């Protein structure tokens, strides 16, 4: 297999994959020799869609006949508690143990190369790179790019490619893809939930997976320390009704000291944005999660009046109109100040 990440089939801005993209992706996988080494990578601090899409597709590749397969993600090799029951976890290796020069690397749910952290170099050291994603801000950084901004989750793209490869759904593959689909649609509550999403969910459920058990594990189980932590962090939330040209901003922050004091791991904070975004007086919600003394993982949500992906992209991140994020640096007030400025700029551009 030949080619590098420099010879790209980039997606058309705002459009999903065309038939040539699907055919190229399928050809990459079908051309793999029996001894081929395949490395699957998802983004740093993986969520349900990143892990579920990657592991579900990885299990599908094993069914397809790929024998030498690794899955990984940048940063500490810790799987968040809600996803520790996923099938396929045995495929995971620490980033430090990932194949340095695989024949094919496949990236999942990463809007940009920067989201791959220390593993970004695999894009050029691999024989070819295939990107599966659904972020509108993804400009295409692989040899072949399957980027569909209309897809509710990256798992939708992964399932479509498995179907084209003739890989049947089984319970293990379906559970991974269902977790991915439910997390990125907010249990089918978000705007990206379409009839096609429900049709896919029905096919996944038809394999015999238990939606009740999955929901309890992924959404409805939380350590008591996390409950106390949420209460403290929500207690410092601030509402700025005049922000975003009067659409409103609500935000809060969680520090490393907060996590230490309540004896919690950082992954518990991923669900915090859902408790903030319900604020009636604000279209935009934001949670700052401290990663290092001067570094924050920032999650943003919109109810529709503001395109938060514009804000995130301007600040070095990416995402969707309704959900986006970036890495902020400096004090919390400095990061929020930059968000305020970009919200104003985004509203000016929108009006124009």
Residue-level pLDDT, tens digit, the chain, 352 residues: 333 333 344 444 457 899 999 999 999 999 999 999 999 999 988 999 999 999 999 999 999 999 999 999 999 999 999 999 999 999 999 999 999 999 999 999 998 998 999 999 999 999 999 999 999 889 899 999 999 999 999 999 999 999 999 999 999 999 999 999 999 999 998 888 999 999 999 999 999 999 999 999 999 999 999 999 999 999 999 999 999 999 999 999 999 999 999 999 998 999 999 999 999 999 999 999 999 999 999 999 999 999 999 999 999 888 888 999 999 999 999 999 999 999 988 775 555 5
Determine the Cα–Cα distance for residues 40 and 42; give it in Å rounded to an integer.
7
Spatial strand order in the sheet of 284-292: 238-240, 249-254, 284-292, 295-302, 323-329, 318-319
Largest CA distance in the chain: 60
Which residues does residue 198 pair with via DSSP β-bridges, in sequence order? none
Unique residue bearing structure tokens 């050809």: 27
Per 3-state DSSP, what percentage of the chain is helix, strand, and coil (rounded to 5)? 45, 20, 40
- Give the pair of three-digit tokens for residue 191: 């705007």
59, 110 contact by CB (below 8 A): no
128, 107 contact by CB (below 8 A): no
- Give the pair of three-digit tokens for residue 167: 């890989």
């Amino acid at each position: 297999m030949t080619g590098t990440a420099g010879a790209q089939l980039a997606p058309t801005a705002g459009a999903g994959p065309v038939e040539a993209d699907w055919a190229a992706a399928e050809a990459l996988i079908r051309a793999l020799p029996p001894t081929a080494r395949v490395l699957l990578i998802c983004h740093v601090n993986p969520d349900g869609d990143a892990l579920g899409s990657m592991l579900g597709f990885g299990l599908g590749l094993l069914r397809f006949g790929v024998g030498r397969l690794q899955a990984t993600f940048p940063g500490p090799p810790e799987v968040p508690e809600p996803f520790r029951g996923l099938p396929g976890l045995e495929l995971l290796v620490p980033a430090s143990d990932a194949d340095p020069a695989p024949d094919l690397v496949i990236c999942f749910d990463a809007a940009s190369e920067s989201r791959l952290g220390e593993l970004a170099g695999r894009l050029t050291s691999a024989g070819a790179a295939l990107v599966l994603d659904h972020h509108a801000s993804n400009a295409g950084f692989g040899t072949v790019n399957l980027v569909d901004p209309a897809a509710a989750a990256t798992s939708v793209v992964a399932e479509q490619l498995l179907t084209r490869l003739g890989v049947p759904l089984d319970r293990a593959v379906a559970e991974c893809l269902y977790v991915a689909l439910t997390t990125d649609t907010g249990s089918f509550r978000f705007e990206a939930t379409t009839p096609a999403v429900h049709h896919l969910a029905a096919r996944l459920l038809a394999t015999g997976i238990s939606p009740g058990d999955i929901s309890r594990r992924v959404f409805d189980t939380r350590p008591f320390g996390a409950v106390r932590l949420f209460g403290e962090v929500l207690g410092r939330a601030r509402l700025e009704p005049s922000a975003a040209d009067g659409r409103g901003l609500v935000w809060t922050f969680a520090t490393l000291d907060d996590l230490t004091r309540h004896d919690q791991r950082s992954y518990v904070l991923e669900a915090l944005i859902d408790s903030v975004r319900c604020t009636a007086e604000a279209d935009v919600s934001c949670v700052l999660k401290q990663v290092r003394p001067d570094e924050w993982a920032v999650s943003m949500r919109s109810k529709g009046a503001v395109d938060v992906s514009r804000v995130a992209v301007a600040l070095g991140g990416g995402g969707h109109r309704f959900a986006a994020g970036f890495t902020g640096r400096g004090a919390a007030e400095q990061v929020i100040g930059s968000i305020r400025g970009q919200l104003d700029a985004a509203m000016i551009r929108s009006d124009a």
